[in-house]
């Protein structure tokens, strides 16, 4: 049976919490998903630390990052990161913006992350940099204006992630689970690259290896095995999100299913 | 409804515990707040590890760091850090002294921390150093004498934090929450600067970026979002402090409110 | 009383979880054991994160890494690592393949791990490298083909572990407990070697010291003391695996015992 | 009321567990105390990971490290470290031998740890090195023979700790609590020294500062504040040791008190 919209929102809450528990985000950072039935809309939590996000926290936004209902809560100021990328990349179904410790070493120095082990190939052949200062001069480094978001989306181009100088990173995926897998393993890859720098000279994967290893997570039971692992870790912490109130109320009614953006 | 003094003392206990749980302090270090109604007084716990502090542990001190009632417990020997800074900086409402692992690398080497990402701009344009040896020769490095505290306060000047060579750091804030935010993110910034040093050359924020990013945490729902996150983490650990005995006794009586030092 | 096969499978589930909890494996990596009564068979979990493995997850494989019954689940794609090593090394009773953070610094740089403290001598006199690219050109770096597994087993030779460039490591042991001990302490040794590199020049054990210290864990109560410690840590986390369903059903029947591969 | 022997043994079990939980020891390492009433005897656990030690695990040993009753369990093979130091240093009341990650960087490289912050002065003016190879040639690096223990004690001399090349460290204290404080803060100091090495040039305390700061933990409520903190952390983990069986049985009888080795 295909997942309902309530299922997918619950999964998005889980995704936010996984990224927190696995050390990608702290009080800041956010994970969104495109509306599975309406490519001109996306879901993003109200302004809240990702480890606290629950299904009832999501608002629906248009691609100009305006909420479709009048919000009752504070919203993230950097929503345009999500909206402008959904505009520019029709196949992208989920976006994470973060300031992980692992990736910041590269944002601070401008050194390039490269895939240093097979799972690190989720970052792809090249990770572009974007420096807000180049186009917009001195700012507070937050990406708040549509033109800032559009500029970031141009820098991302067709890549899997973009590094933001003195700020963080933005990662894209073909589904929420694909996105979480890419986000966490791109951080692991960066950690290993940094530690290896202490030991000696870095040898990265060859272009051919990146191509082939970059498809590992499309094999059966790769993303799902990792997802089950991260779910278990959330559960051990007592941090599995609750079901949405509406979903709880509707639990006895027939389910309305939605099409999924990709197979798992 | 404005918070009562009991609410603020509870918040100060929470602040002590957050700084412990987030890796800023261990058995040592302390967080104080100025009396919200009497700028010539401040509150600081009896001598106790911050993660154990509860509202009933606070004593009230005058700005010469003398307790206003005869104490029944051991007191921190470095109280003058707090008192002398409250004397010198009327707008400061909260002070944290710590020896965090993150900041010690800079206290040991004399290298300057610089803002390496937007949230790191909480440290401001410059972080001055203070070396107790310069003025007082060989000591045990504790800041116990009023003249030592006054010297430290002079080194701090109008800055947000001061590094103490071979010892630690002292951070100031406009409120307890502002202080905790500055303290934790100044440590994160130092961690990222150190890790980035392994990877390559450090590029810091420009002066204009520091000015603008340094105001991010004054935006709505920035400090409060982080506070909610750190509170959740304390609660997960079962480490939320109890209410004061007096507060518990008074729970059914009408509340006496106080003015706050700043808005949240 | 000798352990039953059910006991040994439970121990193998514990071994998988220990390697996870001690930071050797995450969602990926696996630990197998040779069948105690049939040297031409081995046990390995269905495709699942090691920290989730339980006794009912094990399938029995022949040494060509084919399951002896038709599987109902996804299987690990890298089973040939285990099968080809069991073929080549008759005395090996247990194998772990992993991508631990500790060891990756060496897989990425090609620098040699060396025993830097007495317990690090579990790695032996030399740790060979294997680069899949040398023989097979560009691949996705997974070891899936029998000839890839056989090539890896040749590189391992008579050593205790082999490092796989841009991928991870494979470790062998004379029993499940011997394997876990070697795996965890080879990772600790690598961590200490990396940290020491920051401080100064590495001085390794002499060949004579490696010989003698390499036998420490054969002394009474060395492996068992470590095993009790790691078991306690799993129990604290609430992560001790359940007994197999069949074992639970058989709990009241007389036990069928098996011969052990080695003494403890 | 002075503590009973049962109280002191419980404290020694707590000390073993603290050293484990604070990252000093893992499955290996041990903490002993001299008998409070008989300076020719000491207490040390049966061979067991320190985080599991409870009061009933302690055996009494003479200073030749022979148990005074026939043991029913495996004993640590490195007992002579304790016995030979108690022979050579009459004022020492407690000894810890460990292989902490923090200190191993110095054991591996031969670089000297120096006090880099006030609390690091617990290591004293100099930390001597001992290389078992110098006097005994190739060994398995364990200190098992009386002459090996005596050689180590000579290297320790009148210092607070001795580093053992390619092995670990041994620390001494005037009481169990003094020992735990020295052990944990000597490890913290080493961690900070290593991290600072990434950032720049190390500046240590001056000799006069080491003298004065080295007495901080003799001030009221310094060691006890840290002890309360570490006890709370054990309790949070559910790892406080049980009382001895004999102590539980005797709980209703009048207590027999003993003299303490030092004041707290």
Mean pLDDT per 10-residue interval, chain B, length 264 residues? 92 98 98 98 98 98 98 97 98 98 98 98 98 98 98 98 98 98 98 98 98 94 97 96 80 54 38
Residue numbers in D near B47 (CB within 8 A): 221, 225
pLDDT in the model for residue A264: 34
pLDDT in the model for residue A82: 98
Catalytic residue among D22, D51, D78, D148: D78
Q: Are the C-beta atoms of A71 and A46 separated by less than 8 Å?
A: yes
Instruction: Verify whether the Cβ–Cβ distance C104 to A195 is below 8 Å.
Output: yes
How far is residue D68's CA from residue B115's CA, in Å, rounded to a whole number?
62
pLDDT over 80 at A1, yes or no: no
Three-state DSSP string of chain B: CCCEHHHHHHHHHHHHHHHHHCCCCCCCCEEEEECCCCCCEEEEEECCCHHHCCHHHEEEEECCCCECCCCCCCECCCCHHHHHHHHHCCCCCEEEEECCHHHHHHHHHCCCCCCCCHHHHHHCCCCCEECHHHHHCCCCCCCCCHHHHHHHHHHHCCCCEEEECCCEEEEEECCHHHHHHHHHHHHHHHHHHHHHHHHCCCCCCCHHHHHHHCCHHHCCCCHHHHHHHHHHHHHHHCCCCCCCHHHHHHHHCCCCECCCCCCC
How far is residue C105's CA from residue C262's CA, in Å, rounded to a whole number?
33
What is the residue-averaged pLDDT of chain D? 94
Predicted confidence band of residue A261 (pLDDT cuts 50, 70, 90): very low
pLDDT over 90 at A255, yes or no: no
pLDDT over 70 at D202, yes or no: yes
Catalytic, A22? Answer no
pLDDT in the model for residue C250: 61
Instruction: Verify whether the Cβ–Cβ distance B52 to D229 is below 8 Å.
Output: yes
Active site residues of B: 78
Above pLDDT 70, what percent of chain D?
Answer: 93
Q: Which of B117, B211, B220 sits opposite A167 (nearest CB)?
A: B117
Chains interfacing with C (3 or more CB pairs < 8 Å): A, D
pLDDT in the model for residue C262: 40
Largest CA distance in chain B: 60
Instruction: Verify whether the Cβ–Cβ distance B196 to A47 is below 8 Å.
Output: no
CA C17 remoteness from chain centre: 12
pLDDT in the model for residue A174: 98
How close, in Å, is residue C44 to chain A by CA atoms? 16
pLDDT in the model for residue A260: 46
pLDDT over 50 at A164, yes or no: yes
Q: What is the pLDDT of residues D113-159, one digit of tens each?
A: 999 999 999 999 999 999 999 999 999 999 999 999 999 999 999 99
How far is residue D107's CA from residue C78's CA, in Å, rounded to a whole number?
38
How far is residue A170's CA from residue A81's CA, in Å, rounded to a whole number?
8
How far is residue A226's CA from residue A217's CA, in Å, rounded to a whole number?
10
pLDDT over 90 at C246, yes or no: no
Q: What is the pLDDT of residues C178-205, one digit of tens each?
A: 999 999 999 999 999 999 999 999 999 9
Select from A154, A40, A149 the least CA-distant residue to A84: A149
Q: Which of D99, D110, D138 sits opposite C212 (nearest CB)?
A: D138
Average pLDDT over every residue of C196-217: 98
SS3 C163: strand
Q: Which of C195, C203, C211 sits opposite D166 (nearest CB)?
A: C203
**Residue given tokens 């210290």 in the structure block:** C213
Chains interfacing with A (3 or more CB pairs < 8 Å): B, C
Residue numbers in C near A215 (CB within 8 A): 140
Instruction: Verify whether the Cβ–Cβ distance C230 to D27 is below 8 Å.
Output: yes
Q: Which of D49, D74, D194 sits opposite C199 (nearest CB)?
A: D194
**Alpha-carbon distances, residue A132 vs A87, A139, B200, B219 (angstroms):** 20, 8, 20, 20
Q: What is the pLDDT of residues D228-253, one digit of tens each?
A: 999 999 999 999 999 998 766 665 55
SS3 C174: coil
Q: What is the pLDDT of residues D157-177, one digit of tens each?
A: 999 999 999 999 999 999 999
Identify the weakest region by mean pLDDT among A158-167, B200-209, C255-264.
C255-264
Q: How far apart are the first and last CA of chain C?
A: 13
Instruction: Verify whether the Cβ–Cβ distance A202 to C109 is below 8 Å.
Output: yes
Q: What is the pLDDT of residues C69-128, one digit of tens each?
A: 999 999 999 999 999 999 999 999 999 999 999 999 999 999 999 999 999 999 999 999
pLDDT in the model for residue C256: 54
Closest chain A CA to residue C190: A199
């Amino acid at each position: 049976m295909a997942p309902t919209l309530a299922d997918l929102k619950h999964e998005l809450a889980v995704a936010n919490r996984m990224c927190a528990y696995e050390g990608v985000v702290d009080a800041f950072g956010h994970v969104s998903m495109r509306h599975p039935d309406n490519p001109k809309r996306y879901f993003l939590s109200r302004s809240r630390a990702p480890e606290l996000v629950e299904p009832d926290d999501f608002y629906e936004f248009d691609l100009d990052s305006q909420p479709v209902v009048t919000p009752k809560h504070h919203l993230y100021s950097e929503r345009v990161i999500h909206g402008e990328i959904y505009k520019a990349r029709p196949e992208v179904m989920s976006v994470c913006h973060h300031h992980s410790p692992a990736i910041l070493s590269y944002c601070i120095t401008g050194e390039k992350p490269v895939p240093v082990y097979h799972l690190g190939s989720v970052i792809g052949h090249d990770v572009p940099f974007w420096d807000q200062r180049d186009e917009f001069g001195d700012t507070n480094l937050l990406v708040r204006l549509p033109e800032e978001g559009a500029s970031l989306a141009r820098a991302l181009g067709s890549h899997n992630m973009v590094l933001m100088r003195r700020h963080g990173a933005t990662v894209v995926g073909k589904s929420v689970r694909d996105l979480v897998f890419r986000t966490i393993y791109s951080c692991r890859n960066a950690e290993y690259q940094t530690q290896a720098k202490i030991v000696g000279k870095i040898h990265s994967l060859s272009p051919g290896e990146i191509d082939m290893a970059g498809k590992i997570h499309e094999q059966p039971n790769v993303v799902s095995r990792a997802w089950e692992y991260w779910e278990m870790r959330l559960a051990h912490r007592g941090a599995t999100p609750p079901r949405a109130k509406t979903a709880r109320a509707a639990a006895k009614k027939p389910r309305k299913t939605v099409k999924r953006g990709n197979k798992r």
